[in-house]
Amino acid sequence: MAMPRPTVAQLAYGSCTVVFSTLTMLLLSQTSSGAGIALVAVVALALGLLVAMTVPLSGRTRPAPVARSAPQPPARVTVPSPAAARTREAVRERAAS
């Protein structure tokens, strides 16, 4: 089964979560070691992935029903042929005289 592509909302929320959580954790922990920075980066990526995966759950529970009108029958148009028009005129002339 192929994985679905991420939506724009998933990418935006996940990216913002990674950036802001990384900055927040680095400022709060005041770490300067390489291991501490790597740990903060891994935790921020995991948090961003968690946020990105939970975004569509609230919006895609059920698709909204689409209101559709009943199909209209095709319109029937009667177009008189030129021969029928001549016949009618001839009949009218004879009847009037």
Closest C-alpha among 26, 17, 27 to residue 47: 17
Say if 69 falls within a structural domain.
no
Instruction: For 39-78, give the DSSP string.
Output: HHHHHHHHHHHHHHHHHHHHH-SSPPPPP-PPPPPPPP--
* 51 domain-assigned: yes
81 φ, ψ to 5°? -80, 155
Number of structural domains in the chain: 1
Give the sign of the dihedral formed by CA 85, CA 91, CA 92, CA 94: positive
pLDDT at position 97 over 80 = no
Q: Is this model's pTM higher than 0.75 or not?
A: no
- pLDDT of 30-46, one tens digit each? 998 999 999 999 999 99
Q: What is the pLDDT of residue 3?
A: 75
Whether residue 12 is contained in a domain is answered as yes
Residue 3, in any domain of the structure: yes
Per the domain annotation, does 9 fall within a domain? yes
Asked whether residue 48 is domain-assigned, the answer is yes
Q: Is residue 43 part of a domain?
A: yes
Q: Which domain holds residue 30?
A: 1-60
Whether 8 maps to a domain, the answer reads yes
Provide mean pLDDT across the span 66-92.
68
